[in-house]
Amino acid sequence: MNSIDFKIKNLAKIFDGKIIGDEKLIINGVSSIENANEGDITFLSNKKYSKYLNETKASAIVIDSSFSIPKSSKKTFLLVKNSYLTFALLLTEVNKKIGIEKIGIENPNFIHKSSKIGDNIYLGAFSYIGENVKIGNNSKIYPYSYIGNNVEVGENSIIYPGVKIYDNCIIGNNCNIHANSVIGSDGFGFAPNSKNEYTMIPQIGNVIIEDNVSVGSNTVIDRATLDSTIIRKGSKLDNLIQIAHNVIIGKNTVVAAQAGISGSTTIGNNNLIGGQVGIVGHLKIGDNVKFGAKAGVIKSIKQNQTVFGYPSMEKNEFLKSYIIFKKLPEIQERIKKLEGLLSSK
């Protein structure tokens, strides 16, 4: 990694931390606690990694103020309220310092004359900008991206290679749309006739992605039939997710890989949706709901619940059922013995 040269005392000011150790230390790199070298800064937020406090070669460690620091340690510690969040913010600063600042328009590309491109933008080669597109200041459109007619991309947003944004969709400020994602494709709507043939229902709505949203690679968000499919501000979508037409995902909701949300379902704020969760259509999910991986959701859920299993059920109910499920072979044997005793009488 390139040298970053951060002074530990400056980091303490930025992150409101307390230094234990060498206040004149200069940081040259960042690394995991297991693989760090001298001059690196690392972090510890999970107590199961506490053994590395004495083993790591890192010169500095960002650590929660609630953790115990070895008295014999010669390391420098930066005590903060939330080491995981602090380290994430530190990596953001590092990325700014060592990253290549891309500005300018590469060729070949197509930009319709009616489109408005902001200042300090990057437009990669082989990208396409349709009619009446608006791209905000400091945004980056990487190569082989398609931006359809009447699309709006806010400021400081990044559209990575191969992204396709269909007509009339809106992307907010500070958004990241990762490679090969598709925003605004047709919703899965077909009307059957008397011959069991299917006629496509035109999908003439759009997708609205609000500020500070991240969309992972190869994720698909379908446009609405008439109105808008909406991803509210601050939400984070992992790779390989399917969001169907007319879905609304609330603020600061996190969705893990391979989840699927069917049409016209509304998801509340601050939800945590695990990997491979499937949610059927036309449901309403409250705020602060947690979904265990592979949960199959077939009915609406009120706020502040944790659900597991298929069909999904409340956590404590699921755990009770799972205990019984594990004992089914034993229960079956007992039933066979009882049947044998009864038949012998």
Distance separating alpha carbons of residues 118 and 1, to the nearest angstrom: 32
CB atoms within 10 A of CB 17: 21
Parallel, antiparallel, or unpaired: how do β-strands 40-44 and 60-64 relate? parallel
Distance separating alpha carbons of residues 232 and 212, to the nearest angstrom: 9
Structure tokens at 32: 């995991």
Which of 177, 148, 146 is CA-nearest to residue 160?
177
Query: With contact defined as beta carbons under 8 Å apart, do 87 and 43 qualify?
Result: yes
Cis bond before residue 192 (omega within 30° of 0): no
Which single residue is written with the structure tokens 């494709």?
A: 185
Distance separating alpha carbons of residues 136 and 129, to the nearest angstrom: 13
What is the SS3 assignment for 91? helix
Does 178 participate in catalysis according to the annotation?
no
Catalytic residue among 112, 178, 245, 282: 245
Distance separating alpha carbons of residues 319 and 219, to the nearest angstrom: 32
Sign of CA dihedral 70, 71, 75, 78: positive
Parallel, antiparallel, or unpaired: how do β-strands 214-215 and 176-177 relate? parallel
- The catalytic residue positions are 245
